[in-house]
Amino acid sequence: MSGRDPGATWDPRAAFLPSAPELARHLANITEFPQDELPDLPTRWREVVRDWFAPDLAKVAQYYDVVGGRKPLNEKLHDIFNRDHPLSALHTFLADVPLPLLIVTTNYDDLIERSFKDRPYDVVIHATDPSIGDRVLWWPHREHEPRKVPPNKLDIDLKAVTVLYKMHGAVDRREPTRGQYVVTEDDYIDFLARMTKTKAIPSIFAEPFQTRPFLFLGYGLRDWNLRVVLNRVEKDLRRPKGITSWAIQRNPSPLERRFWQKRDVEVYDMDIDEFVKELASRWARHPCG
């Protein structure tokens, strides 16, 4: 999904996006993150398990905020995500689906927005700027400025327009100071606090979150922030058991399979591009709508 060649590693000049562990290592190097906070592993194992034992992104971002300030942290994230990275097969496929979609992503980049440039869509962004408060930023299609809306006042016809919900914020490439990032430990605490007060996820998403199956693409057990969201959806939105969802994940561990199964999610061990190719083939034979 990132458009990188197998085995390629990210650096700030790369033509593809960083993974969370790669972004964490990059920010750790910039801030001289304390070595005693890094995993203590034998040298021969560090490359083999580097993504599992990389410094935690939220912890590194919190340290960056403490020693450097939030503004420099946001500026650094803007520099990293303010680029025209190539679209993946998944982005192109989703943009070609002739039905209104509700796409939820925790990515900060604008790849999904760019893939939908030839069709109408709304964007809803979770805000972390204290001056915005508990509101979300809503970009109705073709409007040049976002509206600041309380989550329970968001008014979109989900049957008429595709909605891109940026659950953890997003880069704003037109106005850098408007970028929103759920990235530090404090950000995640605030996000969870808003969820318990039903002020994080807009209320119009409650019905589809309760009744529709999910298709998880590229998420795994290491994404603890996703687990927090799923737990709150099950408890706060009372999502019933028995609704089968699906996860596409390469080489899931037995622990990850158990994690997904507990949440009624069937796991398919395959590459995202491979999955999109098969899905596009089936869609061509049996299009919906």
Instruction: Write the pLDDT tens digit of every residue in 226-274.
Output: 777 777 777 776 778 888 999 998 888 888 888 888 888 999 999 888 9
Any domain includes 269: yes
Any domain includes 43: yes
Any domain includes 72: yes
- Is the predicted pLDDT of residue 288 greater than 70, yes or no? no
**Which residues span the domain enclosing 28?**
20-81
Q: With bands split at pLDDT 50, 70 and 90, how would you rate the model's confidence at 148? A: very high
Any domain includes 280: yes
CB 145 within 8 A of CB 186: no
Residue that finishes a domain, picked among 46, 81, 116 = 81
The number of distinct structural domains making up the chain is 2
Q: State residue 238's pLDDT score.
A: 76
Instruction: Write the pLDDT tens digit of every residue in 85-141.
Output: 999 999 999 999 989 999 999 999 999 999 999 999 999 999 999 999 999 999 999
Mean pLDDT, to the nearest integer, of 56-82? 96
User: In the 8-state DSSP scheme, what is residue 55?
Assistant: P
Q: With bands split at pLDDT 50, 70 and 90, how would you rate the model's confidence at 40? A: low
- DSSP, collapsed to helix, strand or coil, labels residue 225 as helix
Distance CA 158, CA 122 (A): 10
Q: State residue 173's pLDDT score.
A: 95
Q: State residue 281's pLDDT score.
A: 87
Which range of 41-55, 141-155, 211-225 scores highest in mean pLDDT? It is: 141-155
Residue that finishes a domain, picked among 61, 81, 101 = 81
Q: State residue 251's pLDDT score.
A: 85
In Å, how far are 13, 20, 73, 247 from 3, measured between CA atoms?
Answer: 14, 15, 26, 20
- Is the predicted pLDDT of residue 63 greater than 50, yes or no? yes
User: In the 8-state DSSP scheme, what is residue 137?
Assistant: E
Residue that finishes a domain, picked among 65, 81, 97 = 81
Name the more confident of 80 and 203: 80
Q: Any idea which residue has 């061509």 for tokens?
A: 284
Beta bridge partners, 138, equal: 124, 147
CB 188 within 8 A of CB 228: yes
- Distant-in-sequence, close-in-space partners of 111: CB < 8 Å, separation ≥ 6: 17, 85, 87, 88, 91
Any domain includes 134: no
Beta bridge partners, 137, equal: 125, 148
Any domain includes 54: yes
- Is the predicted pLDDT of residue 277 greater than 80, yes or no? yes
- Distant-in-sequence, close-in-space partners of 21: CB < 8 Å, separation ≥ 6: 50, 51, 54, 57
Q: Tell me the residue type at 138.
A: W
Any domain includes 153: no
Any domain includes 119: no
